Structure 1
């Protein structure tokens, strides 16, 4: 099926933009996670009706469905953009049959190009993991596997959150922080060190405004002295990666646009998207000056079903032909100005309420009302303040669950008052915007396309190689696999290939999810990740060649 799809795509080169054209040296792929098309309209209004950086390169729409669902999550959504393959819900960088799929990131590295990831979520989250990792689950229970794969398959540059994942990995007496440093990577956690970076092999992992090391702040809550913006991370990544004369591949994600949409929180959604658009502006600025860089913008899916206009602004079911609320709806006074008056995201507002809950719900309910009015521009009746108290005191709920529910409650109340509509707190299945900037002489991808077409267009236009070469790059093996002089068995140390001579020094041990094997006691590096999925190992061709001798 995969080969059939690419064959059809190549036939349709007039529409897809995959005809003969010059090749590009660099690629920057921007993914505004969970961005529905209506987000662009509201963002323009919020920004004084000024055009977005993205606007000048919009050229089509991308279909987002996965192999098993009309509505995709970020795992198969990102996998399609990273590998050109449709996959199943929750699957990261693998096919629907749980086979590793080579990614644009890996193909670029095989070409000798530098690679980078810049995101505002934790580094092993679904979208960045889609480009670097391979495993049929994105859940918390599989996060240790994704973390390990990310370290051993590391891009040249990683700007993200998630610093604690390196230190707490599997709660072992060593940390993957040590592993990274032993492999020649610097790990930075402060703004000053970030600003001073001039070369690759670096991870910069930031905390949010409250010191949480899982992810960065929403852009509206960001302290510029402590956290760079996504635009600044993009500019720094380009500055570093562009020093490679062979070129680079950079993936930039506006990760928390999606999180704000899940919370139905319009302020964080719009301000995070505008921060993402500023990152796009940085990419376009470089691409136009460079003349050898392809820029692609494509969300992985929609989220929330946001709209300008809700049930409060619709037709009356009794008198549908009378003048309606939306006839009098002034976008500036009813939506934009109230949004601009907000100072904190719903998440930060919720966190501050939870931190001060003892005071708020004993003698200071008036203080709560003042805080909501000042920080979130939300005026509520007394019974609503009691609802907040119920959320704060909910027995059995973790602090995170209380925060998430309170954030959603605040966002929903604000939206109801200001004619912003939502259909769900989950993802949505509509087509999403596609933007492409290509240098002179390079054909653009245009029209209504599959998300998998985006990856194949990038690979074709950049000359990365064959996205269908998975079976050659990831050769399956497991207990009982035999080669002329070797037979495999599973052990606690990994997959062990015993040599028929019985000599220990000829034995080959393959640890899971690393980039090396042991010949006897000698550690030998390979050029790609040795993927392990439960009891199946996927070996790189150079190791297979050794085993086949």
Structure 2
């Protein structure tokens, strides 16, 4: 799959590409034998291979490949010459912001997910901090440019991390703060018979009192040394895990900038890219579609079985829909958008009924209209809904 992604990024002529994965661009490592490095140079990309080259570049079309495979964990980055996520974000914004038509930039803290899969607590913490530093770069730019929207979210959780373990509520933060290298790095420092385990953990995990029981857990009980070290560090920090896979919990979504209020709700993940596209085209001509007299105009409280009328006026012949935007609980198979009927020319009406399994405070009603040419317009009613309070 990574080979295909690398191909797609070049085929779509993305302006700035920064990260790891050299092996997916080199002909000798790819199944199809394509030399994407040569193709990228032919397409006008400046090739960058380390942090120094990134910080010194003055090019506008950049392909930065800073690692053969994945980028290093943040804990290990100082042992490499790789740039930080914040530095890559800053360079990308500096280049892309030169475009008068605006830009779209996607930044991923991908190694947070890897740490979750392996149940590596310190790596998850430090790579999340590195991601937060990249967010700060993006927000600083957005604060200087009022037309910039920043959206922060995730596609899923991983590992099911908990603070507190085996009935003991707490979190020993210093255990994780004392870890100075990744568990993968520690494992690489072990000699063939693992006799230097105590020295390695003392040097890189701050553990100077490893017990015989913990040593056995690492060397005898765990399937790999990495897994055993992760368990010992997690246990000492009172960090629990429920899985080495993805979790099914809701993930946060935060937004700053134009249309930020649209993200203050429980959203289906497929709505987010649509909202981003709408924001990108917010200043374009929308066919002069307007919405008038949108109801309800005042807040309403609905108990189970009670309904609200949603009504507005616009030009005739539009496709119209509405959605209830709020944290709703226990909503199996709930559609994210519901149809609105044109009850007479230019008048659109729908009814929505609260059921007993719904509960929300301050739910917003958003209506959307689309004309025959695909132009869209959305508005949120002034009246909010309190459902089964």
Q: Could you say which TM-score interval applies, normalised by the shorter chain?
A: 0.5 to 0.7
Aligned-pair RMSD on alpha carbons?
2.5
Aligned residue among 160, 170, 173 for 2:19:
160
Q: Which has the higher helix share?
A: 1
Deviation at 1:449, TM superposition (A): 1.0
Whole-angstrom distance in 1 between the partners of 2:180 and 2:255: 34
Following superposition, the deviation at residue 312 of structure 1 comes to: 4.8
Distance 1:245 1:199, change over 3 A: farther
Q: Secondary structure at the match of 1:198?
A: coil
What secondary structure does 2:106 align onto?
Answer: strand
Q: Across the two proteins, how many residue pairs are aligned to each other?
A: 282
- What is residue 370 of structure 1 aligned with on the other side? 199
SS at match of 2:230: helix
Structure 2 counterpart SS, 1:158: strand
**1:342 paired to 2:179:** yes
SS in 2 for 1:159: strand
Match of 1:256, SS?
Answer: helix
1:445 maps to: 263
Q: Would the aligned equivalents of 2:158 and 2:246 in 1 still touch at CA under 8 Å?
A: yes
Match of residue 62 from structure 2: 202
Please give the TM-score of this superposition, normalised by the length of structure 2: 0.67
Alignment of 1:108-507 (within 5 A): 142-167=1-26, 168-170=28-30, 175-207=35-67, 213-223=68-78, 226-313=81-168, 326=169, 329=170, 331=171, 335-353=172-190, 357-358=191-192, 360-361=193-194, 365=195, 367-378=196-207, 379-382=209-212, 384-385=214-215, 388-389=218-219, 405-439=224-258, 443-463=261-281
The Cα shift of 1:301 comes to: 0.4
- Give matches, 1:102-113, under 5 Å: none
The separation in 2 between residues aligned to 1:228 and 1:148, in whole angstroms, is 23
Is the Cα contact below 8 Å between 1:169 and 1:175 reproduced in 2? no
Q: Which residue of 2 aligns with 1:531?
A: none
How far, CA to CA, are the matches of 2:42 and 2:220 in structure 1? 50
User: Which structure has the larger Rg?
Assistant: 2
Q: 1:252 is paired with a residue of what secondary structure?
A: coil
Q: What is the alpha-carbon distance in structure 1 between the residues aligned to residue 46 and residue 248 of structure 2?
A: 40
Give the C-alpha shift of residue 342 in structure 1: 1.1
Structure 1 contact 161–214 (Cα < 8 Å) conserved: yes
Instruction: Give the Å deviation of 1:348.
Output: 1.4
Contact 2:122 2:179 in 1 (8 A): yes
Q: Distance in 2 between matches of 1:459 and 1:278?
A: 25
Distance in 2, matches of 1:338 and 1:198, equals 42
TM-score (ref. length: structure 1): 0.48
User: Partners of 2:269 and 2:151 in 1: how far apart?
Assistant: 12
Displacement of 1:382: 3.3
Deviation at 1:406, TM superposition (A): 2.8
Q: 1: CA distance between counterparts of 2:110 and 2:165?
A: 26
Instruction: Give matches, 1:66-81, under 5 Å.
Output: none
Specify whether residues 227 and 460 from structure 1 end up closer, same or farther in structure 2 by C-alpha distance, changes over 3 A only: same
Change (3 A) 1:301 1:265: same
Answer whether contact 2:3 2:25 (CA < 8 A) is retained: no
1:303-350 per-residue CA deviation (whole Å, 9 max, x = no partner) reads 11111111051xxxxxxxxxxxx3xx4x4xxx1111111111112112
Task: Flag the 1:460–1:242 CA change in 2: closer, same or farther, 3 A.
Answer: same
Going from structure 1 to structure 2, the CA distance change for 1:190 and 1:300 (only over 3 Å counts) comes to same
Structure with the larger RCO, 1 or 2 (CA within 8 Å, 6+ apart) = 1
Whole-angstrom CA distance in 1 between matches of 2:189 and 2:263: 46
Deviations 1:145-188 (A, max 9, x none): 33322322241000110112211343666622111111111211
Whether the 8 Å CA contact 2:219–2:225 is kept in 1: the answer is no
Q: What do residues 384-437 of structure 1 show as CA deviations (whole Å, max 9, x unaligned)?
A: 435645699xxxxxxxxx8xx432321122112221111111110011111000
How far apart, in 1, do the equivalents of 2:15 and 2:65 lie?
14
Partner of 2:350: none
Evaluate the alpha carbon distance shift between residue 247 and residue 224 of structure 1 in structure 2; reply closer, same or farther with a 3 A threshold: farther
Give distance in 2, aligned partners of 1:295 and 1:201.
22
In the aligned structure 1, how far is the partner of 2:205 from the partner of 2:188? 13
CA deviation profile, 1:260-292 (whole Å, cap 9, x unmatched): 011111100000001000100110000001111
Q: Is the 8 A contact 2:118 2:227 kept in 1?
A: yes
Residue 449 of structure 1 aligns to a residue whose secondary structure is coil
